[in-house]
Chain A
């Protein structure tokens, strides 16, 4: 395994760590790009991204963990009109960097919480994204999730009021539910998100959704994903895990290792060769020839 510091983006304003296998890189496999979990810098909660990057490298997989503009060690470029646009532009810059410098044509995005939201948004717009890992990503109430959440709380009178409110809201949820209860930013209407995930499935993207006990307010049983998005078909490219004993930031190493092992195993089990053939290189695009610099470790 070797790690290099890299700087890229329109003003060399984005900083990241490229982790590569010691032997040879495999541009025929997708490169994994890890996104910031909220405002935390690129190492992730409890070094989650560092641990995952080094584990992936042991399996021959290249990854880049980097800071979006204005977070961690990266400067804001101030070029986009909104923060959302800037975030997406920064992620696309990371893909362009890996394509221009290492010849990768396909990518897997990985994000936790807000990082999962960003992975979803960029996966929709960039066909080079052939897979994504969403850690505590999209979640919407289902009938069973109310029961799972409230039944253990029925002894508490305050829960009754909240339960009644949620039940009322549940009746309207098909039209109005924007999900992510307890999250700072709602996910958007469920039917729209389902449609978006379907579009990823339609282009054969491999998707891994991992939920923890840290988000029981919106996700609390293993099969909830397919109850939330009952219309998704086919399902063979969607994998779902639920770790009720893990917390949202994978505080305990036992939980972190379990998640990391699952991601590595999932990556190894996917047939990426099919996808690579589908997506032609965008290297003729001038944006891909982006400015960059690298510093090798020691």
Chain B
């Protein structure tokens, strides 16, 4: 793994590149798109594990922090959703420079899945294949659930009411909320220029069944795996729980092998 900064000099992004294991190296790259907010923190280790597993399987892998998250520059501000879409394009270009692979596959975890698909539709970012990992299917439901968790946390801890646009420790300015609110993954899978897709989930859920149907309409051979190891994304108690190791990371790596 090589951690480094890349992107605009005045506002660098932090990333970590994992080169392929030489004996099995292939001409294929994978960009990992992380979740946002508290879920970013919670999944950092799982994404690192995935990067290592993919590199071990011969892929060039880049994971990175969006602007205003992790070790990257800036704070969350106006137009943040568009900034994140631009970040994905910048990261894909960086991966191309590092690997010589022009068209990488992408793994999107939670909100990262929506961002990866949106980057394809609105930024003409080309993906060889996409793996959607426990994706946020409805932006509206996502916002509702974190708002509910936020209220619950404030009540549990008897915290006084605050005038803030924060949810669970991260800022969600009005325009970011609107952009998230508009997300419907069932529509986003209608992206052009993506040759294959896979869905990997930690459990069966009604929204995943509907999503699978939409995915298989778009890509008839799309793979689906459900691990029956629920992560409890909407549970405050589990919010700092470092789940998603072992089997589901392997399942995502196998899905990448199919689509990349």
Listed in ascending order, the chain A residues whose CB lies under 8 Å from chain B are: 3, 5, 7, 15, 17, 39-43, 45-47, 50, 72-73, 213-214, 245, 247, 249-254, 295-298
Contacts and interface: CB of A to CB of B under 8 A. Distances in A.
B3 A73 contact: yes
Contacts of B164: 252-254
Contact of A249 (B1, B12, B166, B169): B169
B16 interface: yes
The interface centre, meaning the residue of B6, B9, B71, B242 with most chain A CB atoms within 10 A of its CB, is B71
Nearest to B4: A295
Contact of A73 (B1, B7, B160, B166): B1
A245 B14 CA distance: 33
Contact of A50 (B9, B70, B158, B160): B70
Given A252-B166, A298-B8, A40 B240 contact: yes
B78 to A, nearest CB: 16
Contact of B71 (A50, A254, A295): A50
Contacts of A252: 159, 162, 164, 166, 169
A149 to B, nearest CB: 13
Contact of B3 (A5, A43, A46, A213): A5
Contact of A45 (B9, B41, B70, B171): B41
A73 B47 CA distance: 11
B140 interface: no
Given A252-B169, A297-B5, A298-B7, A247 B159 contact: yes
B128 interface: no
A50 B40 CA distance: 15
A43 B41 contact: yes
A45 B16 contact: no
B48 A73 contact: yes
B177 interface: no
Given A214-B157, A247-B157, A253 B5 contact: no
Interface of B: 1-9, 12, 14, 16, 38, 41, 44-45, 48, 69-71, 73, 153, 157-160, 162, 164, 166, 168-171, 240, 242
A185 B191 CA distance: 50
Given A252-B164, A253-B164, A295 B5 contact: yes
Given A43-B70, A213-B157, A247-B157, A253 B41 contact: no
Nearest to B241: A39
B169 A45 contact: yes
A213 B160 CA distance: 12
A297 B74 CA distance: 14
Given A5-B5, A72-B44, A298-B12, 9 more contacts: A3-B12, A5-B3, A5-B14, A15-B3, A46-B41, A72-B48, A250-B169, A251-B166, A297-B73
Contacts of B45: 39, 41, 72
A282 to B, nearest CB: 27
A41 B49 CA distance: 14
Contact of B170 (A46, A214, A295, A296): A46
Contact of B168 (A17, A251, A298): A251
B189 to A, nearest CB: 31
A73 B70 CA distance: 12
B169 A298 contact: no
A194 B162 CA distance: 38
A52 to B, nearest CB: 13
Contacts of B41: 40-41, 43, 45-46
19 contacts: A5-B14, A17-B71, A41-B44, A45-B169, A47-B69, A47-B70, A213-B159, A247-B153, A247-B159, A249-B169, A252-B169, A253-B166, A253-B171, A295-B2, A295-B4, A297-B12, A297-B73, A298-B6, A298-B8
A-B pairs with lowest CB-CB distance, top 4: A46-B169, A297-B5, A298-B12, A251-B169
Contacts of A295: 2-5
A298 B5 contact: yes
Contacts of A45: 41, 169
B160 to A, nearest CB: 6
A49 to B, nearest CB: 9
Contacts of B242: 39
B160 A245 contact: yes
A46 B164 CA distance: 15
The interface centre, meaning the residue of B7, B8, B153, B158 with most chain A CB atoms within 10 A of its CB, is B158
Contacts of A43: 41, 70-71
A63 B160 CA distance: 33
Given A50-B70, A298-B6, A298-B12, A254 B162 contact: yes
B173 to A, nearest CB: 12
Contacts of B3: 5, 7, 15, 73, 295
Contact of A245 (B5, B71, B159): B159
A252 B48 CA distance: 27
A90 B34 CA distance: 28
A280 B160 CA distance: 49
A45 B38 CA distance: 9
Contacts of B14: 5, 17
